[in-house]
Chains A and B, each alone.
Chain A
Amino acid sequence: MMVKKNGLLAAGAIAVAASLALAGCSAGSDSSGATSDADSSTLTVWVDADRAAVLKDAAAAFTKESGVKVKLVQKDFAKIQEEFIAQVPTGKGPDITIAAHDWLGNFVSNGVVQPVELGDTAADYQQVAVTAMSYEGKTYGVPYSIENIALLRNTALAPTAPATFDDMVAAGTAAGTEFPYLVQIGPEADPYHLYPFQTSFGAPVFGTNADGSYNPDDLTVGNAGGEAFATWLAAEGAAGRMSVNLTGDIAKEKFYAGASPFLLTGPWNVPDAQAAGIDVSVDAVPSAGGQPAQPFVGVQGFMVSAKTKNAIAANEFLVNYIGSEDVQTALYEVGGRPPALTAAFEAASSDPITAGFGAVGATAVPMPNIPQMGKVWQFWGVTEAAIISNQGDPVQLWQKMTADIAAAIQ
Chain B
Amino acid sequence: MSRFFVSAEPVDLAALRAELHLDEAGGFCVFEGWVRNRNEGRAVDGLDYESYEPLAVNEGTQIMEEACAQFAISGAVAMHRVGSLKIGDVAVWIGVSAPHRDAAFKACRYIIDEIKLRVPVWKKERYLDGDTEWIACHQTEAGS
Q: Do A and B come from one complex?
A: no
Residues of A at the B interface (CB closer than 8 Å) are none
